[in-house]
Each structure stands twice: as structure tokens, then as C-alpha cells.
Chains A and B, each alone.
Chain A
Amino acid sequence: MAKSEVKLLGAWPSPFVMRARIALNIKAVEYEFVLETLEPKSPLLLQSNPVYKKIPVLIHADKPICESLIIVQYIDEVWTSAPSILPSDPYDRAIQRFWAAYVDDKLFPTMRGLLTTQGEEARKAVLDQLAEGLALLEEAFGKCSKGKAFFGGDRIGLLDIAFGCMLGWLRATEKISGLKLLHEANTPGLLKWADTFCADAAVKGVMPETEKLVEFSKVIVARMRGAHPPK
């Protein structure tokens, strides 16, 4: 497939863009990474994602696909000769989708909240919420992985991608706040999984360095206090 047939509009700090890149890497799809600067938003972005005007946008044969989890599933459904990202059993697929939605709807906003919330009491409440969420994911990891390395079993799956892409920001948040969010005591499974995920060939090249994210967070916190960050 010609490289220009597949374009991904994105930016390096975005965990959501990373999801799409990992999926494309797993499928060994050649693609053109189109850097979106976001300020101002490019005509291509506005044209291909008029509803949300956010990244990532996958453009396949000139057709745009938006929303990272939808993009990952699309990639899985189009490039079927390569390793599957979703499991084959419908119940297992549903569980992965359920937790992936949880990461987006509950966990990510809480993580973001930790960077923007001010005041000791409010921050403690957010921290407790985050700890609770991570505990739930630790439990889910036990059930989904069934003793294997990933939520998806032997290979990276949808939930690994959905949650794994948050690790860069999770680690940056740990550095910024001076707190340990994933640790041996409460989340031993996730701690180990995090290292395995980040070391995987499909992930290594696209996971941003924690230090770079810490630097970038100063920009994003300012933006988050005003508008929404890229999704």
C-alpha cells in the first residue's frame, strides 16, 4: 500500500495519537505522520474533523476516521492479515471495550484533574479517585491477562493500547506531583505491565520521554485551564 494512502494527523505528546501509531505499528502499516501544530489548527484538521477539530485523525484513501479508540478498531478491522488487536471472543472483546471506555471517560479526566486542581483538599480528593481507578484497573489486569504479560494476553490488545498510552502522562504526573501512582504495594501487576508495554517494539519509538512530557505539561496546564487539550 502506498505510504500516502495512510496519513495520521497528530502530535507527539498526545496519548490518543499514540494509540493510533501503536495500532499501525502492530499491523506494520506504512503511513505518513502529519504533524499538527494545533495553534492555529490546520485546514486539513478542520476539514477532516469538523465536529471536534481534534487529533488524531486517520486519513485512509482520503477518508477521515476520528476518535482514537474508533481509529484503533478500524485499523484492526481493515488490516486483518496482521496480528489482531481485539480478541476473538465476543465477551472478551466487550470487556476490553468496557475498560477502554472507562480509561477515557473516568481515568483520563481524573489524571488531568491532578494537574489542574488546586487546593490541598481538592487535590487529595482527585488523588483518591485516581488511586481507586488504578486499583480497579489492577483488578481488571489480573482477570484479563490470565497470568500473561498483557491485558490482551500474549500480545498487546485494545486495552493495553488504550491504557498504556496514558503511561507517559502518568509518569510525568508522578514526577510533577512527587507522588507514586503505580507502585509495588497497590498495583504490582500494572507496574510490571507498564515496563513490558513500554519496551514493546510497537510502542518504544512512539512513547514520549517522561522528561519531555514534564516540560510540555507546563504548556498544556495553561491550555487546560482555558480550553481542552488535544484528544
Chain B
Amino acid sequence: MGEEVKVFRTWSSPFAFRVVWALQFKGVPYENIYEDLSEKSSLLLHYNPIHKKVPVLVHNGKPLAESLVILEYIEETWKQTPLFPEDPYERATARFWARFGDDQVLPSVFGVFIKQGKEREEAIVTAHGNLKYLEEELRGKKFFSGEKIGFLDLAFGWVANLVSVFEEIQGLTLIDHEKYPLLLAWIQNFMDDPIIKESWPPRDKLITKYQALLGSFIPKEAAEK
């Protein structure tokens, strides 16, 4: 029996995408196990009792949760196509920005999407305050990781497929040409990569999903304004 790799995920989870992209870049065969989060399987709850979330990577029966932790595990287990920088300082920097992405950028961008009125205005200011760091990090580089896609690009992958969905649904532009020329170029380069392209979530499905999600956050009268 060879390696057995399973990924518990949903079709849209940005955190799960990081994991499957990493496996694909390294050419590691794996099995997708799609979860319905409204009715989590007993297997998912068994493998991730603490957070009860996707993604979960199960390698030869041993489970791991938390996408950034999983990415480090994938890197250390399958050494081909390295995704992390070799230099410890560059690695620390990449880890820093990945956590910044999850702790600050993602919540602030999501805030812009679901909030309204004055709260949204404030969320937009916060989001720009965070996004500017991404623009700066791309200076002189094609990808966050340099010439090729790496760990930090995978960590920021949600920027490439979700932000424009949020922008379309809400009729606003967050990542504009004037402020974010490098980030926009990165989004295009990232999307154009053959491996990324192959498992790109369908845009129309994302729009439907997030429109429905929005409906659950705000009262119906406000949604129809």
C-alpha cells in the first residue's frame, strides 16, 4: 500500500484550496472528501474534534487541521517542488504575512462585504490599511514568493478568487488599478497558472453562494434597498 492522502473540504473553502493546491504543486495524489458543513460527518468530527472545521488532511490515517499548519506539514513530508523559502529570515517573513493575511486582511475584507452604511465605510478604511501591505510586499516580485508560486501565494489565494466576487455582489471596488497595480497583476498571474487554473472554483457558484450568505447576515428589507 502506498501513501493514502485525504482532504476533507468543501468545494469553496479558501483554506481547503491552499491544501489541495500545495498537494497539486508537489504532485501528491489525494482524495477529496466533500463535507456538508450544515451536517458534518462523524468522520470529520472524529478527525477534527477541537475546531470541527475543514480542511483536514489525513495522511495514512493521521489527521491534521488548520491550513497553515497543514501547509508546513506538506512541505516537510513531500520535499519536491519546495514552496517555502530556504532562508530562515525569509521563511519567518512569509509566515508573518500568512498570519497577517488570516488575522487581519481576511476579516477586514469580509467586513467590507457584509457590513453596511457607516460600518462599511470604516471597514473599507481598515481593509485598505491592510491591503497596502500586500501591494508593498509585491514590489519587484511577480509572486509573493518570488519568481514562482509558493506558500505565501497559496495563503493569499483567497484574494484572487473571492475579492472580485465580493466586489461584484456589492457593486464596489476595493482593489483598484490606481492603488493596487501590483496586486491586480499578481491576481492575474496567479489565476493564469495551469495548476491553479485546473482547480479554480467556478465564479458563478461563488457568487450564488456569497449572495446567499449575505442574505443570512442582514435583514431582508435592508438587502432589497
- The contact string, 1 if C-beta is below 8 Å from chain B, for chain A 59-81, is 01001011100110110011000
Identify which of A51, A71, A101, A136 contacts B69 (C-beta below 8 A): A101
Interface SS of chain B:
helix
Residues of B within 8 A of A94 (CB): 64, 69-70, 72-73
**How many Å lie between the Cα of A117 and that of B133 in the bound state?**
34
Cα A90 to Cα B50 with chains together (Å): 20
> Within the assembled complex, what's the spacing in Å between the Cα atoms of A95 and B95?
17
Contact status A77-B70, CB under 8 Å: no
Instruction: Please report the C-alpha to C-alpha distance between residue A77 and residue B76 in the assembled complex, in whole angstroms.
Output: 14
A70 in contact with B70 (CB, 8 Å): no
The proximity string for B residues 67-78 relative to A, scoring 1 for CB distances below 8 Å and 0 otherwise, is 011101100110
A residues contacting the other copy or chain, number (CB 8 A): 22
Asked if B200 is at the interface of the complex by the 8 Å CB criterion, the answer is no
Contacts of A60 in B (CB 8 A): 89
Question: Is B89's CB under 8 angstroms from A93's CB?
Answer: no
Residue B99 lies at the interface, judged by CB distance under 8 Å to chain A: yes
Q: Is A98 an interface residue (CB 8 A)?
A: yes
Looking at the assembled complex, report how far the CB atom of A9 sits from the nearest CB atom of chain B, in whole angstroms. 15
User: Is A93 a contact of B76 with CB atoms below 8 Å?
Assistant: yes
Nearest Cβ in chain B — how far from A64, in angstroms?
10
Contact partner, A98, options B69, B88, B89, B96, Cβ 8 Å = B69
Contact of A67 among B69, B88, B89, B96 (CB under 8 A): B96
The residues of A that contact B125 with a CB separation of less than 8 Å are none
Contact between B88 and A74 (Cβ–Cβ < 8 Å)?
A: yes
A112 within 8 A of B: no
Distance between B95 CB and nearest chain A CB, rounded to angstroms: 5
B89's nearest neighbour on chain A, judged by CB, is A63
* Complex CA–CA separation, A78 to B96 (angstroms): 17
In contact, A98 and B92 (Cβ under 8 angstroms): no
The main secondary structure of chain A at its interface with chain B is helix
Q: Is A123 an interface residue (CB 8 A)?
A: no
Give residues of chain A (86-121) contacting chain B, Cβ–Cβ below 8 Å: 90-91, 93-95, 97-98, 101-102
Least CB distance from B53 to A in Å reads: 12
What B residues does A63 contact at CB under 8 A? 89
In the assembly, what is the distance between CA of A95 and CA of B64, in Å?
8
B73 touching A66, Cβ below 8 Å: no
Q: Are B133 and A102 in contact (CB under 8 A)?
A: no
B88 engages A78 (CB within 8 Å):
yes
Expressed in whole angstroms, the Cα–Cα distance for A67 and B99 within the complex equals 9
Q: Among B50, B64, B92, which residue has its beta carbon within 8 angstroms of that of A91?
A: B64
Bound-state Cα–Cα, A101 to B73, Å: 15
Q: Within the complex, which residue of A65, A77, A78, A98 is in contact with B64, where a contact is CB–CB below 8 Å?
A: A98
B92 touches A102 (CB 8 A): no
Query: Do A91 and B99 touch across chains, with their CB atoms under 8 A apart?
Result: no
Q: Which residues on A sit within 8 Å (CB–CB) of B66?
A: 97-98, 101
Q: Is B100 an interface residue (CB 8 A)?
A: yes
Query: What residues of chain B have their CB less than 8 Å away from a CB belonging to chain A?
Result: 50, 59, 62, 64-66, 68-70, 72-73, 76-77, 88-89, 91-93, 95-96, 99-100, 133
Additional pairs, 5, CB under 8 Å, beyond known A70-B99, A74-B89, A97-B69: A73-B95, A77-B88, A91-B59, A101-B69, A136-B50
- 21 residue pairs of the A-B complex, CB under 8 angstroms, read A65-B96, A73-B92, A73-B95, A74-B92, A77-B88, A78-B88, A90-B73, A90-B76, A91-B59, A91-B64, A91-B73, A93-B72, A94-B69, A94-B70, A94-B72, A94-B73, A97-B72, A98-B65, A98-B69, A101-B66, A136-B50
